Amino acid sequence: MVQGTVPDGLPVTPPVALREPAVVVAADYFHSYSVVGLLTVVGVLFVAVAFGAGRLLRPVVPTPEKLLTYECGVDPVGEGWAHTQVRYYVYAFLYVIFAVDSIFLFPWATVFAAPGYGATTLVEMFVFLGFLTVGLLYAYKKGVLTWT
């Protein structure tokens, strides 16, 4: 980097345009990482301070009732193994499928409104909805959707 002096003898730093381009690019590049690193450190410190304050401020009074195993407000009585019916998992799985469907519909609606994409996106959506319909009809034929 070239530096000069003014008649008073003070050093003069050249403007950014006269500096070496590699130094300027590297400085900007590492500046972005320093911002990310600083935010990471602040986030970790925030979590550490919150957990530390919670540990210092909470009351610790262990009693035999507090040390019991607790399951949804019910005292543990009997065996520890309970059978869960499969239909609950099937309904949860169907919910996930239709949630993904709704997530796909929002971007589709924005692209469908863009000029030049109408017919293509409409066909893609009907193919997607066709796959979902075939899956739903299959589940209905197998009797998965009947609540007994």
Residues 53-78 pLDDT 10s: 999 999 988 888 777 776 666 666 66
Q: Which helix (H) or strand (E) holds 51?
A: helix 21-57
pLDDT at 30 over 70: yes
In the block, tokens 């949630």 appear at 99
Distance CA 145, CA 136 (A): 9
Q: Which of 26-30, 37-41, 99-103 has the lowest mean pLDDT?
A: 26-30
Tokens representing 129 are: 């909805």
